[in-house]
Amino acid sequence: MTMHHQNDVPQSTARVAVIGYGSQGRAHALNLRDSGFDVVIGLRAGGASTESARRDGFEPVPIVDAVRGAEVVAVLIPDTTQPKVFRDQIAPNLDEGAMLMFAHGFNVHFGTIEVPNGIDVTLVAPKAPGALVRRQFEQGRGVPCLVAVANDATRRAMSRALAYAHGIGGTRAGVIETTFAEETETDLFGEQAVLCGGATELVLAGFETLTDAGYQPEVAYFECLHELKLIVDLLYEGGLARMHEFVSDTAKFGDLSRGPRIIDGRVREAMRDVLAEIRSGQFAREWVEEDRSGRAGYAKMLAEDLDHPIESVGAALRAKMSWLGESRAEPAGAPS
Catalytic residues: 104
Least distance to Mg ion, CB of residue 303, Å: 13
Least distance to ligand NAD, CB of residue 261, Å: 34
Least distance to ligand NAD, CB of residue 29, Å: 10
Among 4, 33, 68, 104, binds ligand NAD (CB under 6 A): 104
Residues 117-176 that bind ligand NAD (CB under 6 A): 125-126, 129-130
- Those residues whose C-beta lies under 8 Å from the C-beta of residue 163, and which sit 6 or more positions away, are 9, 10, 11, 12, 14
Q: Is 190 in the site for ligand NAD (CB under 6 A)?
A: no
Among 200, 210, 275, 308, binds Mg ion (CB under 5 A): 200
Least distance to ligand NAD, CB of residue 147, Å: 13
Quick one: CA torsion of 292, 297, 300, 304, rounded to 10 degrees?
-130
Q: Is 74 in the site for ligand NAD (CB under 6 A)?
A: no
Least distance to ligand NAD, CB of residue 78, Å: 5
Euclidean distance between the first and the last CA atom of the chain, given in angstroms as a whole number = 23
Amino acid residing at 224: C
Question: Angle 197-212/309-318 helices, nearest 10 degrees?
Answer: 90
200 binds, among ligand NAD, Mg ion, none (CB under 5 to 8 A by kind): Mg ion
194 binds, among ligand NAD, Mg ion, none (CB under 5 to 8 A by kind): none
Cα–Cα distance, 277 to 96 (Å, whole number): 36
Beta carbons within 10 angstroms of residue 100's beta carbon: 26
Cα–Cα distance, 106 to 126 (Å, whole number): 15
Cα–Cα distance, 177 to 159 (Å, whole number): 12
Cα–Cα distance, 336 to 333 (Å, whole number): 9
Residues 31-70 that bind ligand NAD (CB under 6 A): 44, 47-49
- Give whichever of 204 and 231 is closer to Mg ion, judged by the CB atom: 204
Q: Is 103 in the site for ligand NAD (CB under 6 A)?
A: yes
Q: What is the DSSP string of 188-231?
A: HHIIIIIITHHHHHHHHHHHHHHHHTT--HHHHHIIIIITHHHH
Residues in contact with Mg ion by CB under 5 A are 200
- Where do contacts with ligand NAD occur on this chain (CB under 6 A)? 20-25, 44, 47-49, 76-79, 81, 85, 103-104, 125-126, 129-130, 334, 336
